Amino acid sequence: MANPADCTSSHCSRVFLTYEPSLAGGAVFLVLFAILIPVVLALGIKCKSSVFATAIATGLALEVLGYIGRVLLHNNPNEKSFFILFLVGTILGPTFICGAIFLVMPKIVAVYGEEFRSWRPVWYRLSFYALTAITFVLELAGILVSTIQNDQGDVDTGVRVVVVGLAILLVALLVFIGHAMLFSIAVRTRHHPLDIKYAGIYNSGAFKIFLAALSLATLLLIIRTAFRTVVIAEGYDSSIAQSEILFLILDGLMVFLATLILVAFFPGRVLSDSWSQLPTRGPSKTPLRPIRPTPYEIPSTRTSPTYNRMSVKSSTTANYSPRKMHYPAPAPQNHMVDSDALW
């Protein structure tokens, strides 16, 4: 390990902080993130959404460790172990929070119906869960290489690995937004039926507010990830990295607000007891209700090899009564769009 005193030179300026972090800024975010941890865990137990709550709580715990390292850097900004703690916590923490957001989308799709999904479930899992895992591995490996190794070439390699990990996470968030937009368009344009079992959810105002809140939280995490990618890529000796105010706003504040939104509009609470029962794949067997009225077709009376005028007449007039209204039976809905054929 290199001498911590050397980290004020140009050899370490690409990785280590070149300013003394403020004690107040680090302490405030440390406390804010710490307060949210028991709240998230309590909501996870109450709403039966332990996986989502665990992912959020893990991200918050890492953020707490990161800001503990930042507070310790206030008195000794050249201490490598403190900086590693700060870097690991503040880079890996939001990755877990993003992974938690990715867990919510299959539940939203299940509320409206699998007919509206834009991707097959297997492609969704490969695209987001696998990318999140790859991001975590690259970020952790890059941080360790760039901070522990003494050779400048190894340090630069580690920095590039961290940047690649952050870039992958940024792409995953952007693709997630695109997937959500495609799903929203499908709900508005396709003539598939909605599952009446979840009518109380998708017709509620709280659910619509939750969708807007989830979009806002994702946007905040995109801003944070883009900012951190630029900071790591240009090095801590760059002008953008030298501004502590920018870091506290575009990183700490963005992550805290995104997490606060997810806590305030906790998915398990908005979806009520249905969170643990919502399927993530396969069509529902519950009776369905059309989104909008579908046209009915009058049975055709064109001649055919099996056509019998008397049988048609008798079948249509046998139970006729002038006091009852008779309507033709709805024709099978064969005009629906098959979402599997689109992707």
* Residue 334 or 36, more confident: 36
Residues 259-274: what's their mean pLDDT? Answer: 85
Beta bridge partners of 288: 195
d(CA 311, CA 315): 6
Residue 74 lies in a domain: yes
Residue 43 lies in a domain: yes
pLDDT of residue 136: 97
What is the residue-averaged pLDDT of the chain? 79
Q: What is the pLDDT of residues 189-224, one digit of tens each?
A: 876 677 677 778 888 888 899 999 999 999 999 999
What is the span of the domain harbouring residue 218?
Answer: 19-274
Provide the number of structural domains found in the chain: 1
Residue 305 lies in a domain: no
Task: Categorize the per-residue pLDDT at 78 as very low, low, confident or very high, splitting at 50, 70 and 90.
Answer: confident
- Where residue 212 sits, what CATH number does that domain have? 1.20.1070
Residue 2 lies in a domain: no
Q: What is the pLDDT of residues 315-331, one digit of tens each?
A: 444 444 444 444 455 54
Residue 14 lies in a domain: no
Q: Tokens 């709900």 identify what position?
A: 187
